[in-house]
Amino acid sequence: MNDATVTHHSNDIQETTLWKDFLALIKVGIVNSNAITTFTGIWLALYFSDKGFLANIDVVLFTLIGSSLVIAGSCAINNYYDRDIDYLMERTKERPTVTGKMNPFYALWVGIFLLTVGLAFMLMTTITATIISMVGVVTYVFLYTMWSKRLYTINTVIGSISGAVPPLIGWAAIDSNLSVMAWVLFLIMFIWQPPHFLALAMRRTDEYRAANIPMLPVVHGFDITKRQIMVWIACLLPLPFYLYELGIGFLILATLLNLGWIILGIKGFNNKDLELRWATKMFVYSINYLTILFVSMVLFTIV
């Protein structure tokens, strides 16, 4: 990152409030989606260790608040670091660190503050959960944002490690002896991310190319990217069967979701004229897939 403060102004900058700028800084959408997977980890750990939800409500709240603050802080630091390239991409050009609505160094200190408070909350759960949280931070901030993102196409895979730890954090906060099921939740999240972000990269290839970010479709083209997307999705197929304790209903639903994603990918796979439409469908499916899968894990323990 260049030491010089990089701020880009535009005549059509949208009017926003300080609160909206803060939410954009911490990437509130990412914080919220990770809260869902963290809660699922918490819930399943409680369920399979026969611990009551209300009896452990303090740990639940410490974990949800702490992990959310850690993720928010990491995202704020990411925005600070990437301010010199975010203006080149449509989906990031309105971030307050780009428009000048927020001083970059203020954003950095907000990130550090949120991280510190978040880790303090996590220390009120278990050491294991706190360490996993720190692994997520190091992976996202240093290994992804500051190192691999601008150098290697494998940046997507490296970034997937940090995106996969929330359910592991949730489980570890309740039960430090991470079971096979906890690691399967991690693997589902880890394997889900490459097809999700590669589909997004296909849709935003021109923007990533302009920002000189070596995403797979930028460096190697759409054909290899589509094949990799399909391989990653196929790797999800066996994972629900390690969660057989959630019942046959869950196994059927999860398998149908996996097969549906594969079928959607096969349909139109070879149509060169509709590659961006194909990528959009795959991207939208991936979002719904994750939400349905993790919410259903909780529901199938209740019904």
- And the tokens for 133? 């949280």
47-79 pLDDT tens trace: 999 999 999 999 999 999 999 999 999 999 999
Note the maximum CA span of the chain: 58
CA-nearest of 165, 167, 216, 166 to 194 is 216
The confidence band for 174, taking pLDDT boundaries of 50, 70 and 90, is very high
User: 17-26, 154-163, 231-240, 244-253: which has the minimum mean pLDDT?
Assistant: 17-26
Band of pLDDT at residue 94, cut at 50, 70 and 90: confident
pLDDT > 90? residue 9:
no
Question: Is 11 a residue whose pLDDT tops 50?
Answer: no
Q: What is the torsion angle, in degrees rounded to the nearest 10, for the CA atoms of residue 143, residue 217, residue 7 and residue 92?
A: -90
Range list of H helices, the chain: 18-25, 28-48, 57-81, 83-86, 96-99, 104-122, 127-137, 155-164, 166-174, 180-203, 205-210, 216-220, 222-234, 248-266, 275-302
User: Tokens for 237?
Assistant: 């197929």
- 99-108, 117-126, 140-149, 289-298: range with lowest mean pLDDT: 99-108
**CATH T-level assignment (fold) for domain 18-302:** Farnesyl Diphosphate Synthase (1.10.600)
Burial class of 30 by CB neighbour count within 10 A (0 to 12, 13 to 18, 19+): middle
pLDDT in tens, 277-286: 999 999 999 9
CA neighbours closer than 13 Å in the CB half-sphere of residue 82: 30
Mean pLDDT to the nearest integer, 202-219: 94
**Per-residue model confidence (pLDDT) at position 93:** 85
Q: Is the Cβ–Cβ distance between 180 and 51 less than 8 Å? A: no
